[in-house]
Amino acid sequence: MNQRQSNEELILIKASQVWPFMDVVSRLGGNIEDLAERAGLPLDAVLEKKGVIGERSAWRFAGFAAQSLGNEHLGYLVATEHPVHSVGELGGMRVRMAPTIGKLLQFFIEDVTYENNGAKYSLIRHGDHVVFRREIMFPDCIGRWQTEQYIVTILVQIIRLCAENSWQPSWLGLASSAKPLSIPSGWSGIDIKWGNPATEIAMDESLLHRQVSSAIQLLAKHHGREPSRPITSGEIDYIVDRQLWSGGTSIAETAHELGVSSSTLKRRLKRDNRTYSGIVGERRQYWAERLLVETDTPLAQIARTLGYTHLPNFTRAFKARTGLTPSGFRANQRSNSNASD
């Protein structure tokens, strides 16, 4: 193995991410033991969905499997048989709370980049379009066409969670081959650019501002309300949460969504011995604690997500409420959890 391939073997992904390929190949009659051995893929880890494995070996497995089964659209088939049904399947709380497609893709890119050093993801502007871009890491790997099919199909599914089910990319840039290949039936009618330097999915820029379906459904409760109807703490908390995750809080916007004036909202909060700034602080603290305990998200990223300009500001605010720094709180909670196990 040359030095380049040796370095590439250090690029790891979660074993559970490869399981859908294993499941479909097995169902189609493929010899997964033989294919895994040829690809250098640790079969037990994938079947048990535990730990991490070399990403290059996963790509090779997909390529060998497609050859063995004579299925040139295996990657597409795996993505359609194991589709993304909800935003909640995509990862952490930031993704689940994303109010718009733009924020959803931004959070998704940040989370995937943090978990996997084998690919570079970005959103770039291209005229009136925005392009979701994934730079390939193994240009000479046998399974890259199958993997590209899978990735493109999953990303289209993610966007369709927020847009209509019939949504199609404005165009696709494919990096697997300089020559046109047979494409999956679901891609018919899409303008495809072969031999692209990276995998690219183009969409109209206006799509980024569209609200995520789950957010629309939850917000429906707050529209058309009578101004005289009591404002519940749950309603306010939800609206502040959504504002936090979208990058800014505003009492005027909160009042507008509740159908009252800012002064009316302030008076009603005062009756409950609450203030808008206090609620923002409470919700920031709530999400900070969840992110610290339930995820490995870096502290700087948590601070940025929750609207703190600088990490020291987050640290001071957190310590004022708990007596611990964010890192100390995370370590303490995990130590208690391990002790209870």
Q: How many residues does the chain have?
A: 341
pLDDT level of residue 88 (50, 70, 90 thresholds): low
Residue 67 has pLDDT above 90, yes or no: yes
Comparing 146-160, 234-248, 259-273, 301-315, which segment has the lowest mean pLDDT? 234-248
Q: What is the DSSP letter of 212?
A: P
Among candidate residues 182, 209, 236, the one where a domain is terminated? 209
Residue 222 has pLDDT above 70, yes or no: no
Residue 152 has pLDDT above 70, yes or no: yes
pLDDT tens string 14-53: 888 899 999 999 999 999 999 999 999 999 999 998 888 8
How far apart are alpha carbons 53 and 55 in whole angstroms?
6
Q: Could you list the residue range(s) of the whole structural domain that residue 29 is in?
A: 3-71
* 231/326 same-domain check: yes
- Which is it for strands 171-174 and 191-194: parallel, antiparallel or unpaired? parallel
* Kind plus residue range of the DSSP H or E element containing 167: none
Q: What is the mean pLDDT of residues 2-19?
A: 66
How far apart are alpha carbons 82 and 168 in whole angstroms?
19
In 246-338, which ranges are E strands? none
pLDDT tens string 286-340: 989 988 988 888 899 889 888 888 999 999 999 999 999 999 999 998 888 776 6
Among candidate residues 186, 209, 232, the one where a domain is terminated? 209
Q: What is the structure's pLDDT at 336?
A: 81
Residue 2 has pLDDT above 60, yes or no: no
What is the pTM assigned to this prediction?
Answer: 0.69
* 57/99 same-domain check: no
Which CATH number covers residue 329? 1.10.10.60
Considering the chain, what is the average pLDDT of its residues?
85
* 280/321 same-domain check: yes
Residue 218 lies in a domain: no
Q: What is the DSSP letter of 123?
A: E
The C-alpha angle 332, 241, 106, rounded to 5 degrees, equals: 85
Q: What is the structure's pLDDT at 214?
A: 56
Residue 16 lies in a domain: yes
Are 101 and 208 in contact by the 8 Å Cβ rule? The answer is yes
The domain tally of the chain equals 3
* 98/193 same-domain check: yes
The C-alpha angle 163, 78, 113, rounded to 5 degrees, equals: 65
Residue 67 lies in a domain: yes
Residue 176, burial from CB neighbour count under 10 angstroms (0-12, 13-18, 19+)? buried
Residue 153 has pLDDT above 90, yes or no: yes
Residue 9 has pLDDT above 80, yes or no: no
